[in-house]
Structure 1
Amino acid sequence: RLGIALVPGYKVGESSSAAAARPAGEARLSREDWVRSTDASDLIRGEVMSLRTTVLGQMTEIRELHAVDRRRQIVISKLRRADHRRSTEIIELRIALQGQVTALQGHVIALQAQVIALQG
C-alpha cells in the first residue's frame, strides 16, 4: 500500500471504502479546500511572475539610465577639457596683450620725450 492520496476526497493512507463511508459534505469541503488552495497558489504564482516582470523591467531601465549617465559624463568631461583649454588660451592672450600695452606705453613715453625735446 502506497498511502498516497491523488484524488480530492481521499485522505493519505485511506482506502476507497473509508472515503465512501465518510459523509459527502466532508468530501465536498475537502474538494472546496483543494480548489481554494489551487486558486491561492495560482494567484501567488501570478503575483510572483508579475513581480519578476517588474524587476526585470526596472533592471533594464537601470542599465539604460547607467548608459545615458556614462554618455553624459563623457560629454561633460569633453566640455570641461575644452573649457580648460579656452581658459588657458585666454590667460596666455591676456599676458601677451599686457606685454603689448607695456611696450606701447614705452613708445608713448619715448614719443612724448621726443616732442618735449623738439619743443624745447
Structure 2
Amino acid sequence: LFPTRSSHREDRPEVTLPPRTRLCIALGPRYEVGESSSAAAARPAGGLKADYGFMRDRRAYVYTHHLMETEARLSREAWMTEIRELHAVDRRRQIVILEMLRADHRRSTEIIGLRTALQGQVTVLQGQVIALQTQVTALQGQQGLVGGPTQPELPELPEEAG
C-alpha cells in the first residue's frame, strides 16, 4: 500500500520577505552573492549597449519614427489640399452648369413664346386665306367665270369657225 499523496509545500508557511533578505537567511551572513562565472563568460566584452548597438538603433528608430510622422503629416496635408481643390473645381462646375441651365430655361421660355405667337399668326393667315378664297369665288361667280365641278368646262372652239 502507498501512503496518500500530500504536498510538501503545504507544511511550509508562506515567506513574505524580500528576495535578498531571504537569500541571506538561507545561505548565511558570510556568503556573498555575486555574479556567476558563466554569466560573465556569456556576456560580450564591450557591454550590451556597445555590442548590440542599442543607442544607434534607438537613434535610428527615433529618426525613422520622425520620418514616418513627417510623411504622414505631409500626406494628410496633400490629401486635404487635393480635396479642397476638388471641392473648388466641383463648385465652379456646378456654377457653370447652373448658369447653362438658366440660359437654357430662358431660351426655352423664349422659344415657347415665339412658337405661341407664330401659331397665332398662322391661324390669322389661315383665316385670311379662307376669306380671300371666298372673295375670289364670289367674284368669279359674279363674272360667270366659275368653272367648278357643278359647271362643266366649255369645249374649245376651233379657230376656223370663228
TM-score tier, shorter chain, comes to 0.7 to 0.9
Give the match for residue 86 of structure 2.
Answer: 65
For 1:26, give the aligned amino acid.
Answer: L
- Structure number having the greater helix percentage: 1
Structure 1 segments of 4+ aligned residues over 6 angstroms from their partners? none
Structure 1 residues 27 and 112, CA, compared in 2 at 3 Å: closer, same or farther? Answer: closer
SS at match of 1:24: coil
Measured in 1, the distance between the counterparts of 2:100 and 2:86 equals 21
What is the CA–CA distance in structure 1 between the aligned matches of 2:48 and 2:134, rounded to whole Å? 127
**Post-superposition offset of 1:27:** 4.3
* Gap runs ≥5 in structure 2: 1-39, 142-162
Q: Bigger radius of gyration, 1 or 2? A: 2
Shift in Å, 1:29 = 2.8
Matched, 1:77 2:98: yes
1:28 aligned counterpart, secondary structure:
helix
| Distance (whole Å) between structure 2 residues aligned to residue 47 and residue 94 of structure 1 | 68
Q: Deviations over 1:6-52 (max 9, x none)?
A: xxxxxxxxxxxxxxx9842434235x122112202211210110111
**Distance in 1 between the 2:83 and 2:118 partners?**
51
Map residues 34-113 of structure 1 onto 2, 5 A cutoff.
Answer: 34-113=55-134
Question: Normalised by the size of structure 1, how large is the TM-score?
Answer: 0.75
Separation of aligned partners in 2, 1:104 and 1:59: 66
Q: Aligned partner of 1:41: which letter?
A: V
How many residues are treated as equivalent by the alignment?
A: 99
Q: Distance in 1 between matches of 2:96 and 2:49?
A: 71
Distance (whole Å) between structure 2 residues aligned to residue 58 and residue 27 of structure 1: 41
Kindly report the root-mean-square deviation, in angstroms, between the aligned alpha carbons of the 2 structures. Answer: 1.8
What is the TM-score normalised by the length of structure 2?
A: 0.56
Structure 1 pair 77–114 and aligned structure 2 pair: CA distance change class (3 A) = same
| Distance in structure 2 (CA, Å) of the matches to 1:86 and 1:57 | 43
CA distance in 1: counterparts of 2:89 and 2:126, whole angstroms: 55
